[in-house]
């Protein structure tokens, strides 16, 4: 039974996250792309074109946040029409949302924080997930539940790259996808850290670009971000 199929109480701290490389050598999420696009879709018509633009730019991963009424339908559309992208659901706040995202076609989950109930609910979906952390105590709680890879959020407001650098030695088992306030200029400082696999970035899909249908701009930003790896 994999960690994603067990409840947190059944997992041991030595178990690895399902985002880590598999025995076959296939990369986990933290090792797929240097920047995971964190996307807010206000109009369902934007979903498929933005996913295709990201793929064209060299970033075949998308975290679609559950912040708008069309988010679940957007995940469903991307999963159906853009199979070459790994589509995930972000801003998972409840076990119910985790199940809804899975049923819509999400292939991974991301939460801004992690409570025992939320960890259990995400694990019960059978999907890989990144639980959110912001303090050493939260990181240790997630490690105790059996997960070694997690989101660090909100990254800049919580101490940024300097904070993650300071905990790399005392908490070497934890690896992160920092998200929140990261820019093209600051991304490299995170990616150079030994405990960071990738960063989450919302700058790749500016609200005005999506509203205007400027998919060439999204593709260019994705290409620039892909080059950070």
Catalogue the active-site residues.
63, 151
How many helical (H) and strand (E) elements, i.e. helices and strands, does the chain have? 9, 9
Three-state SS at 177: strand
- Closest by CA to 20, choosing from 134, 111, 147, is 147
Cα separation, 92 vs 70, in Å, equals 15
User: Cβ-count burial of 47 within 10 angstroms (0-12 exposed, 13-18 middle, 19+ buried)?
Assistant: buried
- Closest by CA to 198, choosing from 165, 163, 152, is 152
Beta bridge partners of 35: 199
| Mode of pairing for the β-strands spanning 149-152 and 129-130 | unpaired
């Amino acid at each position: 039974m994999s960690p994603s199929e067990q409840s947190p109480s059944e997992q041991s701290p030595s178990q690895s996250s399902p985002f880590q490389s598999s025995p076959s050598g296939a990369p986990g999420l933290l090792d797929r792309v240097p920047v995971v696009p964190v996307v807010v879709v206000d109009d369902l018509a934007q979903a498929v074109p933005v996913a295709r633009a990201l793929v064209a730019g060299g970033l075949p991963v998308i975290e679609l946040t559950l912040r708008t009424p069309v988010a679940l339908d957007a995940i469903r559309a991307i999963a159906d029409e853009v199979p070459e992208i790994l589509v995930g659901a972000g801003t998972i706040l409840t076990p119910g949302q985790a199940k809804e995202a899975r049923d819509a076609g999400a292939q991974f989950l991301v939460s801004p924080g992690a409570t025992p109930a939320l960890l259990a609910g995400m694990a019960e979906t059978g999907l890989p997930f990144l639980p959110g952390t912001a303090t050493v105590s939260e990181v240790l709680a997630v490690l105790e539940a059996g997960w070694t890879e997690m989101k660090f959020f909100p990254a800049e407001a919580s101490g940024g790259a300097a904070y993650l650098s300071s905990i790399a030695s005392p908490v070497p088992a934890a690896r992160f996808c920092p998200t929140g306030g990261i820019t093209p200029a600051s991304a490299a400082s995170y990616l150079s850290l030994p405990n960071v696999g990738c960063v989450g970035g919302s700058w790749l899909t500016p609200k005005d670009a999506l509203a205007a249908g400027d998919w060439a701009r999204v593709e260019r930003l994705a290409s620039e971000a892909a080059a950070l790896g």
